[in-house]
Structure 1
Amino acid sequence: MSEFRDWYNSVPFFTRHWLTYTIVLSLLGKFGIISYYYLLLDFERFAYNFQIWRPATALFFYPITPGTGLHFLINCYFLYNYSQRLETSIFAGKPADYFYMLLFNWVCCVIIGFVVELRFLMDAMVLSVLYVWCQLNKDVIVSFWFGTRFKAMYLPWVLLAFNLIISGSVMMELLGILIGHLAFFLLFKYPQEFGGPALLTPPAFLKQIFPDTRYMGGFGSAPQERAPTRPAGNVFGGHNWGRGQTLGGN
């Protein structure tokens, strides 16, 4: 138990809370402690019945069934792995900046979810964060099922193709890629390559709530290409499930 507590406390703040709320709320819905009907995204209930919690619960809740259990675990792994990498690398020492990016991605998920009548946002939100990491680490070599290896820039599209084969639907993946691309463009491409203002700079009150812990000179700059190293150990039954391995990996 102490080892689990040490590991849990070592997970970065926002990643830890995001993962915790997701697991707890999904299990509460799974065992019927809370009816999933009150957790899904529903514009009419949100707008006309003032059930304002729905955008948040739709993010954290995922319906766990015999057919979706494995997918839920994969999502949790990607959430933990890639959110943690972003939080401890490019956003290290800048908690308000990372929270503001998450907030932006979530708002985009909610708006699009209302428009296209999505009920759950976990898939799109997780893939949007994964996409940002992949764009910041384009040349990192990642490994997927059956030992396939490719650059991280292709990982979101591999996941899209994988889900197309498995479930026949890629709506969530396309939305996640779209939102992640928009966040990456506003955070890095637009101010650095086009000379525009930093549109996703967090407001002052967020900086007061989540103050910077230390200065990171490389913040806001996409990392340079780095040479790949030997693959790290496998996870999830012998497969790396998109885990990247390069020198200085996050």
Structure 2
Amino acid sequence: MSSPAEFYNSLPPISKAYGTACLLFTTAFQLGLYNVFYIALLYEYVFKHFQVWRLITNFFFLGKFSINFGIRLLMIARYGVQLEKGPFERRTADFLWMMLFGALSLLVLSAIPIFQAPFLGVSLVFMLLYVWSREFPNAQINIYGLVTLKAFYLPWAMLALDVIFGSPLIPDLLGIIAGHLYYFLTVLHPLATGKVFLKTPLWVHKLVASWRIGAPTTQPSSRSGAQPERSTGVAFSGRSYQLNG
């Protein structure tokens, strides 16, 4: 059995970086090193006082140390890692773009009064969970040893459990909406029209290459029929054939 250090070092770069940042932010909060007010997503302070860091820092706070915090961190370690090591293997730029697209979508959604939320970290984790559930729809998941269900239904089951245990509904729902938006643009829309609308921008590829993290995707090449798809950011290439069939 590998040691905790070996397990941590084996994690893929994006999931590891995000999970680590969430753990550090919560640890610093528990130690009283900062007030969460100063990292919360408050658009009044963003636009009137130019506190633009709030657009980023709010994604790194998953709440104080609790069972819920542990579950969210484990969701990153399981579902984020499985995505990054599976469908997004050797496609670090595409996985990073999926995370960035999810974060941008959540920022737009949270500007709607009914969806306002000071922290979107839980929503981003739920977005990862939703994408994972669509990539592995038939995987069997056991929830707390009480019920077994297909992964396709897991986001809704987790949302229902959060409601039962008194957690806010909006963060989970925002994540599901953002995840489905990504799914629609990378699977449903291409299947209906034959066109890939959402592609990983070149600057994301260059960013990954400059940071030398993971394995940057190569640009589309006419010499291989499969190569262009690997550069679009589409994570559901296998499932798309099943849906067509």
Flag whether TM exceeds 0.5 (same fold): yes
Q: Structure 1's 38 and 214: CA in aligned 2 closer, same or farther, altered over 3 A? A: closer
Q: Report the CA distance between 1:7 and its aligned residue.
A: 1.6
SS in 1 for 2:90: coil
Q: Residues 43-93 of structure 1: CA distance to partner in whole angstroms, max 9, x if unpaired?
A: 01111111111121100013316xxx1101100000111111111111111
What's the counterpart of residue 102 of structure 1?
99
Matches within 5 A, 1:233-248: none
Alignment pair present for 1:179 and 2:178: yes
What is residue 161 of structure 1 aligned with on the other side?
A: 160
Query: Cα RMSD over matched residues?
Result: 2.1
Query: Residue 160 of structure 1 contacts residue 170 of structure 1 at CA under 8 Å; is this kept in 2?
Result: yes
Question: Could you give the per-residue CA deviations for residues 175-196 of structure 1, whole angstroms, max 9, x where no partner exists?
Answer: 11111011111122221x1134
Amino acid at match of 1:198: V
Aligned residues of 1:124 and 1:172 also touching (Cα < 8 A): yes
Distance 2:81 2:27 in 1: 22
Distance in 2 separating the partners of 1:7 and 1:146 = 25
More helix by share: 2
Aligned length: 220
2:88 is paired with a residue whose SS is: coil
- Three-state SS of the structure 1 residue aligned to 2:3 is helix
Alignment of 1:73-112 (within 5 A): 73-112=70-109
Over 3 Å counting, the alpha-carbon distance change for 1:213 and 1:46 in structure 2 is closer
Tell me what 2:149 maps to.
150
The 2-side partners of 1:101 and 1:213 are apart by 14
Over the matched positions of the two proteins, sequence identity in percent amounts to: 26
| Structure 1 residue aligned with 2:124 | 125
- TM-score using structure 1 length: 0.81
Distance 2:93 2:164 in 1: 38
Q: Which residues of structure 2 form unaligned runs of 5+?
A: 210-214, 219-225
Q: CA deviation at 1:132?
A: 0.6
The 3 A distance-change label for structure 1 pair 94 and 148 is same
SS in 2 for 1:146: coil
1:169 shift after superposition? 3.6
1:25–1:60: 8 Å Cα contact kept in structure 2? Answer: yes
Whether contact under 8 Å (2:106, 2:120) holds in the other structure is yes
Residue in structure 1 matching 2:196, options 176, 198, 201 = 198
SS in 2 for 1:149: strand
Give the superposition deviation at 1:146.
Answer: 2.6
Q: Are the aligned partners of 1:132 and 1:184 in contact in 2 as well (CA < 8 Å)?
A: yes
Q: Give the AA of the match of 1:206.
A: V
Give the corresponding residue for 1:12. 12
Residue number in structure 2 paired with 1:240: none
Q: What is the CA deviation profile of residues 101-156 of structure 1, one whole-angstrom value per residue up to 9, with x for unaligned ones?
A: 10010011112223232111111110111101101111111111234111111101
